[in-house]
Structure 1
């Protein structure tokens, strides 16, 4: 049996038959949602121009660049939860280097079963990303994701019911200087954020109103269809929502941490952040770039640097961002290796009964 056949064999035959019978209606839905931007492309491009949103970048000398991404994994064994979070920094292609090797942070722990373990792993992953970014000596640094994600993940760990998890988060954040790194990420113009997934539709709504063309889908998809190679959207200030709602909560005893974190993100709450969509070549998607106000006047250098890191049609993001993502998302292999090493030590140390409890898992979680 082939690998594909084995995969299909995991589903009941009747379920799979019913699932495939829905392909027709879903195809019609997708076509109906996305066809407008293709059919009315010329009209929509004129609308972009009329709104003053369309511009090109001027090629300049690229700058040294690095990108950071993180990942986490949780192995929920019969006895305990094994947690691992990592962050990896990768330098861009070019003759000038600032790092001797790839940068990384990691954290691993065994904890009693707790449903909130994932919040801890995510919160530490983000803190590790921030630590690497704050120390990177490059003229341009890329956060894989949005500035929003930083606040969401840190706040999720801060508001857990478990006092043990909150204490672990507090200790690790102190060691990583997370408050200082977060304030740095919210203000430094050399740090940009590039989320892969983006549900924003502000520009689509404006363009639909301007042209009278009904549009479905998000801005990232739409601009990917409308922009030509070398074009970008005139930078826009981020909208009131959800940025003005960004905040931190805290359980009793952590109010000082809440206050310090909230102070660190005030530039984001005040919307001192801008965004654009940039398409470096015909084969690439439109990249959403979040930047500080001081970086708006430096877009030619930013776009030139990003365009210089697009290595081919099969790599859908700047090279250091792509490689950091590949490395960080391999975190599950690292956790499997750690789990096997712990099992071996328990068995060879005369505790095979405990080792057997780590062999069987309820499930593996992570990203």
Structure 2
């Protein structure tokens, strides 16, 4: 905390902290208003059959789990963008009965050097979503947690395709994306359908503005469901599944694929759009120190008491420490993969050093491979 304000003018810091009294009164007023409505809204939840208790589900052994998260780094160099996308899997706290071993590597990585283009960021994010999906289908665990909504990869693929359509000429990134996309779509379909009774894939968004349950209860307060259910649920309670209101892709750029692939891609996309309507949302409060967690899952999991009990038991087990605000493997995967940007700056320096040994004009090498964003001046 010593250097928190070191780069800011003192007057700005004083004005910023001076906002504290007004903002704190706003927070207190909102908390008081929601507390006053708590019992009424809990009765509404119960009357609609949406309030459940984990203790009412079948007793199941604690399953194995892993968490998967991804990150993107784009280094703006003089003539190029250095694009890096990665996904990382972390195994959860090991239950006593586990004898399974998942061999290394437990990550996916993609790196490309492209001329400047606004679409590079979008394509890189599409690749990141694909790498998360690819890693999730390889995980041998009973429950696989993905950071974010289960519908996000499909949206990311659609956005990347629309960005690729704007390129005047194919690029290495666009060719890579279009070549691999059919198998990524098939992998995503496997995750969303969740047909294997041995595995459950669960999306857990950290941030959400969704209001499926708030709308059902007629809550006028523009509060999102996660905040609302944190106030309403007691420890060990969860909401019964409700449909996920997911944004649908726009066009999906089928024309970008070779003619011999278009029928396959079109079929996969149609199946994915259909299965997205079968996704369900559950909120659970496994411990009193935790906010409500939003779980997105297929209806075959949500409607099966045994599979649902397995998921909620794993969530409870992986959130057993007060320092965790999400399941342990997701927490650790997020902390680890966020350092990919720093590693990308190190990669840039390594490329520059290697190029300097092969090209006689050192000045050209250092100028062309310098980052001209302010954060690029930091020591990697």
Task: From 149, 158, 161, give the equivalent of 2:161.
Answer: 158
Q: Which residue of 1 aligns with 2:210?
A: 200
Asked whether the equivalents of residues 205 and 215 of structure 1 are also in contact (C-alpha less than 8 Å), the reply is: no
Which secondary structure state, in structure 2, belongs to the residue aligned with residue 276 of structure 1?
A: strand
1:99-137 Cα distance to aligned partner (Å, 9 max, x none): 124511101111111111100110100110111111222
Counterpart contact for 1:146–1:193, Cα < 8 Å: yes
Query: In 2, distance between residues paired with 1:250 and 1:34?
Result: 46
Secondary structure of the residue aligned to 1:332 is: helix
The offset of 1:268, in angstroms, is 3.2
**Aligned partners of 1:173 and 1:87: how far apart in 2?**
19
Bigger CA drift: 156-165 or 81-90?
Answer: 156-165
Equivalent in the alignment of 2:293: 287
Does residue 328 (structure 1) correspond to residue 328 (structure 2)? The answer is no
Q: Is the 8 A contact 1:159 1:250 kept in 2?
A: yes
The answer on whether the counterparts of 2:254 and 2:266 sit within 8 Å (CA) in structure 1 is no
Is 2:115 the partner of 1:112? yes
| 1:359 paired to 2:370 | yes
The residue aligned with 2:238 is: 232
Bigger CA drift: 251-260 or 102-111? 251-260
Query: How far apart, CA to CA, are the structure 2 residues paired with 1:186 and 1:170?
Result: 26
Matched, 1:215 2:221: yes
Task: Tell whether the 8 Å contact from 2:158 to 2:249 is kept in structure 1 after alignment.
Answer: no
Determine if the alignment matches structure 1 residue 43 to structure 2 residue 40: yes
Q: 1:54 aligns with which of 51, 56, 66?
A: 51
Q: Would you say how many aligned residue pairs link Structure 1 and Structure 2?
A: 354
Equivalents in 2 of 1:217, 1:145: separation in Å? Answer: 19
Are 1:139 and 2:142 matched, yes or no? Answer: yes
Flag the 1:267–1:217 CA change in 2: closer, same or farther, 3 A: same
Q: Confirm or deny: 8 A CA contact 2:50 2:239 kept in the other structure.
A: yes
CA-to-aligned-CA distance 1:310-349 (integer Å, 9 cap, x gap): 1411111111111111222111122011011011112233
1:123 aligns with 2:132: no
Q: Give the corresponding residue for 2:316.
A: 307
Q: Which consecutive residues of structure 1, in runs of 5 or more, have no partner in the other structure? A: none
> 1: distance between equivalents of 2:177 and 2:161?
12
* SS in structure 1 of the partner of residue 234 of structure 2: coil
Q: Residue 363 of structure 1: CA displacement?
A: 5.3
Q: TM-score, normalised by structure 2?
A: 0.84
Deviations 1:199-248 (A, max 9, x none): 11121232246xxxx43311001111211111100111224xx45x3444
1:266 aligns with 2:269: no
Give distance in 2, aligned partners of 1:97 and 1:364.
Answer: 43
Could you say if the C-alpha distance between residues 20 and 93 of structure 1 is closer, same or farther in structure 2, counting changes exceeding 3 Å?
Answer: closer
Mapped to 1, the partners of 2:256 and 2:298 lie a distance apart of 33
Q: 1:194 to 1:331 in 2, by over 3 A?
A: same
Could you say what secondary structure the match of 2:235 adopts? coil
Seen in structure 2, the aligned counterparts of structure 1 residues 360 and 171 have a Cα distance that, compared at 3 Å, is closer
Distance change (3 Å), C-alpha of 1:21 and 1:100: same
Are the equivalent residues in 1 in contact too, given 2:112–2:172 (CA < 8 A)? no
